[in-house]
Amino acid sequence: MSELIAARAVTGIGGGAMMALGATTVGDIFSPRERGRWMGLIMSVFGLGSIVGPLVGGFITDNFGWRWVFYVNLPLGLVALASLVILLPRLGGHGRVHIDWPGIVLLVSGVLPILVALTWAGITYPWASGQVIGTLGIGAILLIAFAVWENHAAEPVLTLHLFQSRAFTVAVVLSFLVGIALFGTLTFLPLYGQGVLGYSAQDAGLVLSPLMLGFVLGSLVGGQLTTRTGRYKTQTVIGMAVAVVGMFLLSRLSATSPFTQALVAMAVTGVGVGAVFPTLSVVVQSAFPYRMLGTANAARQFFNNLGAVMGVPVMATIVIETLKNELPRHLPAGSGPRLAKAATSGAQGLIAGQSQGLTEAFGKLPPAVAHQVLTAVRVSLATGIERAFLVGTALAALGLIATFFLPEIPLRGTIQDHPTG
């Protein structure tokens, strides 16, 4: 497992760079007004990949073995690399770049303990435990050291002067909140499909299709509107409003909800989030001179990823704590603590991605009792997911409020420096 983690870390370095460079490359090649169309296309490809990837991965794993999930990326990666070398326009840079290695180390060292603490909190250790509080404190101290260092660095990795731009600050807040909403939904909808609706692991992956198809539609339409109108604020406000409605509809799902109700909720959420995503890169790129595109894009992408990785453990804690509290109330009368513990353990295994968790926990029970216990787990799990989506709704609502503070910077039809907005 440590070897897999190390390999994924290396992969993440390359993937993180590509996510930031994709938007920066669009900014290099196209004018501010054209960027909306192309960012919408990039986001729609991301949405389609989120649908096709799990299906292809599941098929490969079932038929060829799990190692081929990684092998198949090697020829695809070589094709992509060759395409970059041959087809990507060559734009000359100016001057030497000095990488802020101390800033990078301080930033990663500060964020990592906070992520670990959020993963531990409420599951491995109580929220008020010394382990959680101490780890959060270490992360906070390191982030303060990072902020101090960045004020003196010659070429800071995340210059704090970026936040003097209201457009950048609002875009970062939106990226953080939208990251929580999108990736929280991507995480817990398959859990709802598998643990509540009773789908298989492969079918549970298909549950995301309406969400991502809505995301593709919203990205394409949102990008086209930005390019054609030269404006982005109105569609950002409308997109966040639609996302709030979609998240609220997701929070209304219960153990007895038909799949059509979930389908509508997912499609609405996907359209709203998809309409917002492309505009955030355009906002950041329009707020700063051309020479700062890379720094500004990387900073926005960082906060988007930060929202994703911070939101998921917090929402998971809500689901698990709700499960622990609700499950004893729904178990059959006379159930002993041993059965309650087995039910909780099996459900937590399902949350952790172990599809055999419920089977192992209840496989030896009489059929009638096993059915009652499974029903109790589904009802309790649905309640926990409902509360997690309510938190997502509240965060999306905060994002909607933030959109009203977004300044409208006219999008130019040519690539040139322009003043900070």
Q: What pLDDT, on the 0 to 100 scale, is given for residue 362?
A: 55
Check: CB of residue 210 under 8 Å from CB of residue 267: yes
Looking at residue 133, its pLDDT comes to 94
Task: Give the model's pLDDT for residue 355.
Answer: 45
Contact 33, 411 (CB under 8 A): yes
pLDDT of amino acid 266:
92
pTM of the model: 0.80
3-state secondary structure of 412: coil
Q: For the purposes of burial, counting CB atoms within 10 Å of the CB of 29, is it exposed (0-12), middle (13-18) or buried (19 or more)?
A: middle
- Please give the pLDDT value at position 140: 94
- Residue 125 φ then ψ, to 5°: -135, 155
**How many angstroms separate the most distant Cα atoms in the chain?**
75
* CB of 310 closer than 8 Å to CB of 114: yes
Residue 8, C-beta contacts closer than 8 angstroms, at least 6 positions apart = none
**What is the enclosing helix (H) or strand (E) of 173?**
helix 166-191
Q: How far apart are CA 275 and CA 151, in angstroms?
A: 35
pLDDT values of the chain reduced to their tens digit, one per residue, 421 residues: 899 889 988 998 888 778 777 777 777 777 777 877 788 888 788 778 877 787 787 778 778 888 888 898 899 899 989 998 888 877 665 556 678 889 889 988 998 999 888 888 877 888 889 999 999 999 999 999 998 998 888 778 777 788 888 989 999 999 899 888 888 888 888 888 877 887 766 676 678 888 888 988 998 888 888 888 888 888 899 999 999 999 999 999 988 888 889 899 999 999 999 899 888 888 887 888 777 777 787 788 888 888 888 888 888 888 888 888 888 787 776 665 666 666 666 565 555 554 444 555 555 556 666 677 778 888 888 899 999 999 999 999 999 999 999 988 777 655 554 444 4
- Dig out the tokens for 68 from the structure: 């081929």
Distance (Å, whole) CA 238 – CA 242: 6
Axis-axis angle for helices 337-351, 293-330 (nearest 10) = 160
